[in-house]
Amino acid sequence: MAAPKKAAASAPQDKTNGGSPPEFTKEQELKALRDMLLIRRFEEKAGQLYGMGAIGGFCHLYIGQEAVVVGMQMALKEGDQVITGYRDHGHMLATGMEANGVMAELTGRRGGYSKGKGGSMHMFSVEKKFYGGHGIVGAQVSLGAGLAFANHYRGNDNVAVTYFGDGAANQGQVYESFNMAELWKLPVIFVIENNRYAMGTAVSRASAQQDFSKRGLSFNIPGHQVDGMDVRAVKAAADEAVAWCRAGKGPVILEMQTYRYRGHSMSDPAKYRTREEVEKVRHDQDPIEQVRNRLLAAKVSEQDLKAIDAEVRDIVNASADFAQHDPEPDASELWTDVYR
Amino acid sequence: MPIQVLMPALSPTMEKGNLAKWLKKEGEQIKSGDVIAEIETDKATMEVEATDEGTLGKILIPEGTTDVAVNTPIATILADGESAADLAKAPAPAKPAAEAPPAAAKAEAPQPKSAAPQAVAEPDPEVPAGTEMVTQTIREALRDAMAEEMRRDADVFVMGEEVAEYQGAYKVTQGLLQEFGARRVIDTPITEHGFAGIGVGAAMAGLKPIVEFMTFNFAMQAMDQIINSAAKTLYMSGGQMGCSIVFRGPNGAAARVAAQHSQDYSSWYSHIPGLKVVAPYSAADAKGLLKAAIRDPNPVIFLENEVLYGHTGEVPKLDDYVIPIGKARIVRSGSHVTIISWSNGMTYALKAADELAKDGIEAEVIDLRTLRPMDTETIVNSVKKTGRAVTVEEGWAQSGVGAEIAARIMEHAFDYLDAPVTRVSGKDVPMPYAANLEKLALPSAAEVVEAAKAVCYR
């Protein structure tokens, strides 16, 4: 075996719009900043609570990847569905699920979205059209195609945004789903969040074809590589993909080139990459800093940005407080929800 | 000497067929490879090709004849230089199929000639007295159940391999494409894991899919989606998001298809909380329970049996015949021993009960019909009466459904037992191909008789 190559930490190139994504309005920048900050602060708090023993089991943080889900969500409309794998807290917050309910699920309390029975990897909100939260790598891809199947069957123009990672992209059912999605022209956007590592295995060590936008080529599914650290590039790619799906042209693949700052889960020894690599991405490409710098350059005051910070911190602190004081589920809950 | 053309066996479980049409006339020249006739089986219409050359001498079975046994001579071919006068030399036709060598092997396979349970001692509580009955094959009963539910609910659709244009690999979905169209009767690629996942996803979005597996052997590829996605999501979502879906198809041993195509998955699925598992034996139950399964808001595993598809039974002619899931049925009353089975296991159980009656042993035969939730009450009440129990299953004994039944009897009726509960099951080996070994691997009525006599100390 060849020695594993460390993924280069250079800036991913956006190829959907020739390198320069369309500018956001000030309102869009502010919304993106606020939504990404909420995810980041939430995840930092979750990490903290995990360290205190308040959260058990596995806990996979989304820090670094915030622009992907926030940019995608900005292109969606009422009724569009979202489904993802186990690194799902960011997706839930982006779809509008309450921080309290998500955090209380992490601590296994009755006010959690799954009444404390699902935990970090298994949360759902039918109301917000968030279909999980799935712990089996790749399973959500077939399920997401199934959500799109339902849209197609009902004849509406909603799309199903199906997120999975570079690791899941090697699972067999992904390609079974690609085949049927294109065969039946299902309105599904396959968002491959390429954060360069499947747990501890670099893309270069696991993937024969490292350009994930090409993974649908043999099924005639169009694919695009997108700078997943720039929320504007994500939104622009999402707009095109959504339009394609709504027009009945079938599925699209978007490879989001992104990066996770934290370990795979909380128990990650981080031996597979250097601290310098992480620091460099943080310093050069951080999705939140990019927006903040643009806003400051556009003469938005530090004061206004601090107000957003404060609002987000309040939400997160309140959720942590709720999640630690909400009672555990009643013992009788053990036996409920097996059948309906 | 003239050559006989025999009624061919066109599938592993075919016992008879209809001679739909002759494409050649008597006296016509025939070359090897010519299509000479069309035969309808319960699964499909097939062409019969000549394998010999000559002149079609005599048609022995006229077109339109139904239920022609496999290996029955259907025509004679005269070789060059032979004439009609030579026909007399041909062996006497109309030899019963069961005596011909290839079919003999099948006749030994577990296939009752009689229709689904005739020996019903207990009246069916779901059917009002005086209800008109229609005779149907189990295949037709299943098809009607799906068609009725699809008419009733626009969210119900069928997907699977060959369910639409081919009309079903085992013809269970025959006619559905014509009535409901390609939007609701969907041929999938051969991709069980993927289409099971798509079905579950569609169910999570509120549709009610019927996912057909060509056989449950192939559902192993989809096991993750069935267990991890379909069965567990309601619980993991705190009751918020469920999955109303039916996974159906033939389960268990067919005939002479060997280990990878002959396995009983009853105990596999019945292990899983969140799933319901139904395995009917009679045509009426097949219909009533499939309708219930389609309406059920939970994922239901509906285990059919290929050997039983062509068997006929009386199905109540009711507008909406739905049988509740989770109720066993006492098919034959008796006081000496309780025999518990389901699906094709009932074949051995009922045959054994007949044999036992000749020896003065009255067996009570329970058709479980549903494996999860299991109707413990019916089993226990019967055992309290008889004091003895024998379970019959095609699957393996270890961690099998029989083992579960035995445990429940011990838990709930230990003091009533006069003998240990005995299991009759498939032998602890992969299914062999050879006809004699296959027969040995499966349970038999004789084994059930032996077990029943043993627990009666006879």
pLDDT digits (tens, 9 = 90+) for B351-390: 999 999 999 999 999 999 999 999 999 999 999 999 999 9
Q: Are B157 and B253 within one domain?
A: yes
Q: Which residues pair with A83 in a beta bridge?
A: A162
Check: complex ipTM more than 0.85: yes
A335 part of contact set with chain B, CB < 8 Å? no
Which range of residues forms the domain containing residue B77?
3-89
Q: Any chain A CB within 8 A of the CB of B55?
A: no
Regarding whether B396 and B369 lie in a shared domain, the answer is: yes
Task: Look at residue B97 and tell me if it is in a domain.
Answer: no
Statement to judge: residues B31 and B57 lie in one domain: yes
Question: At B391, is the pLDDT very low, low, confident or very high (cuts 50, 70, 90)?
Answer: very high
Are B290 and B156 in the same domain? Answer: yes
Residues B295 and B368 in one domain: no
| The pLDDT of residue B79 is above 90 | no
Instruction: Choose one of B89, B123, B152: the last residue of a domain.
Output: B89
Q: Is pLDDT above 60 for B290?
A: yes
Tell me how far CA of residue B318 lies from CA of A21, A231, B115, B120, B315, in angstroms: 65, 60, 21, 19, 9
Which residues in chain B are closer than 8 Å to A148, comparing Cβ atoms? 201
Compare B88 and B198 and report the one with higher pLDDT.
B198
Active site residues of B: 192, 261
**Ramachandran region of residue A108, left (φ > 0), alpha (ψ -120 to 50) or beta?**
left
Identify the domain boundary among B89, B114, B146.
B89
CB contact at 8 A, A147 and B202: yes
pLDDT tens digits in sequence order for chain A, 340 residues long: 444 444 444 444 444 445 689 999 999 999 999 999 999 999 999 999 999 999 999 999 999 999 999 999 999 999 999 999 999 999 999 999 999 999 999 999 999 999 999 999 999 999 999 999 999 999 999 999 999 999 999 999 999 999 999 999 999 999 999 999 999 999 999 999 999 999 999 999 999 999 999 999 999 999 999 999 999 999 999 999 999 999 999 999 999 999 999 998 888 888 899 999 999 999 999 999 999 999 999 999 999 999 999 999 999 999 999 999 999 999 999 999 999 9
CA distance A150 to chain B (A): 5
Per the CB < 8 Å rule, is A337 touching B235? yes
- Encode B88-123: b = buried (16+ Cβ within 10 Å), e = exposed: eebeeeeeebeebeebebbeebbbbeebbbeebeee
Residue A82: strand, helix, or coil:
strand
For B191, the closest of A134, A141, A179 (CB atoms) is A179
Residue B259, class by beta-carbon neighbours within 10 Å (0-12 exposed, 13-18 middle, 19+ buried)?
middle
A-chain residues within 8 Å CB-CB of B242? 340
**Do A320 and A65 contact (CB within 8 A), yes or no?**
no
Per-residue pLDDT at B100: 38
In a domain, B126, yes or no: no
Does the CB of A219 have a partner CB in chain B at under 8 Å?
no
Q: Does A180 touch chain B (CB under 8 A)?
A: yes
Q: What is the CATH number of the domain that holds B371?
A: 3.40.50.920
* Range of lowest pLDDT (A171-180, A311-320, B38-47, B68-77): B38-47
Say whether pLDDT at B103 is over 50.
no
Of B238, B273, B276, the CB nearest to A114: B238
How near does any CA of chain B get to the CA of A234, in Å? 26
Region B18-41 average pLDDT: 88
Asked if residue B239 belongs to a domain, the reply is yes
CA nearest A131 in B: which residue?
A: B204
The reported pLDDT for the residue numbered A96 is 98
Tell me the per-residue pLDDT of B166-196, one tens digit each, with 9 for 90 and over.
999 999 999 999 999 999 999 999 999 999 9
Structural domain count of chain B: 3
Residue of B180, B236, B374 to mutate when probing chain A, most A C-beta within 10 A: B236
Of chain B residues 265-284, which have a CB less than 8 A from chain A? Answer: 273-274, 276
Residues B383 and B286 in one domain: no
Which residues is B137 bridged to in the sheet?
Answer: B312
Tokens of A200: 């501890």
What mean pLDDT do residues B271-289 have? Answer: 98
Q: Read off the pTM.
A: 0.89
User: Beta-carbon neighbour count of residue B360 at 10 Å?
Assistant: 9
A153, B207: Cβ pair inside 8 Å? yes
Q: Which positions in chain B touch A102 (Cβ < 8 Å)? A: none
Using H for helix, E for strand and C for coil, what is the string for B63-125?
CCEEEEECCCEEEEEECCCCCHHHHHHCCCCCCCHHHCHHHHHHHHCCCCCCCCCCCCCCCCC
- Confidence at residue B90, expressed as pLDDT on a 0 to 100 scale: 55
* Burial of A332: CB neighbours in 10 Å, binned 0-12, 13-18, 19+: exposed
Do B261 and B184 share a structural domain? yes
Q: Is B190 on the interface with A (CB under 8 A)?
A: no
Residue range B96-121: average pLDDT? Answer: 40
> Does residue B180 share a domain with residue B233?
yes
For residue A122, the chain B residue with the least C-alpha distance is B236
Kindly state whether residue B118 falls inside one of the protein's structural domains.
no
Write down the H helix ranges in B96-241. Answer: 101-108, 138-152, 176-180, 192-204, 223-224, 233-236
Q: What is the CATH number of the domain that holds B277?
A: 3.40.50.970
User: Last residue of a domain, which of B35, B64, B89?
Assistant: B89
**Rounded mean pLDDT, B62-70:** 90
Cβ <8 Å between A131 and B224: no
Q: Which residues of A touch B233 (CB under 8 A)?
A: 122, 124, 132
pLDDT given for residue A227 in this prediction: 98
| Interval B18-47 mean pLDDT | 86
Do residues B427 and B305 both lie within one domain? no
At A12 the pLDDT is 43
What fold characterizes domain A26-265+275-316? Rossmann fold (3.40.50)
Q: Is residue B406 part of a domain?
A: yes
Kindly state whether residues B37 and B162 are assigned to the same domain.
no
- Cβ-contact B272, A145 below 8 angstroms: no
Instruction: Indicate left, alpha or beta for B314 from its phi (over 0: left) and psi (-120 to 50: alpha).
Output: beta
Same structural domain, B44 and B193: no
Q: How far apart, in whole angstroms, are the C-alpha atoms of residue A293 and residue A232?
A: 14
Does B429 score more than 50 pLDDT?
A: yes
Are B48 and B6 within 8 A, CB to CB? Answer: no
In a domain, B424, yes or no: yes
Residues facing B159 on adjacent strands? B186, B211
Give the whole-angstrom CA distance, residue B231 versus residue B299.
Answer: 6
* A142–B196 CB contact, under 8 Å: yes
* Predicted pLDDT of residue A18: 54
Which residue of chain B comes nearest to A124, CA vs CA?
Answer: B237
B326 touches A: beta carbon within 8 Å: no
Residue A56 structure tokens: 């058990």
- Ordered by start, the domain boundaries in chain A are 26-265+275-316
For residue A338, give the nearest of B189, B229, B235 by CB distance: B235
Residue to substitute from A83, A122, A153, A163, interface B, most B β-carbons within 10 A: A153
Are B167 and B255 members of one domain? yes
Query: Which tokens belong to A263?
Result: 């370990």
Confidence class of residue B1 from pLDDT cuts 50, 70 and 90? confident
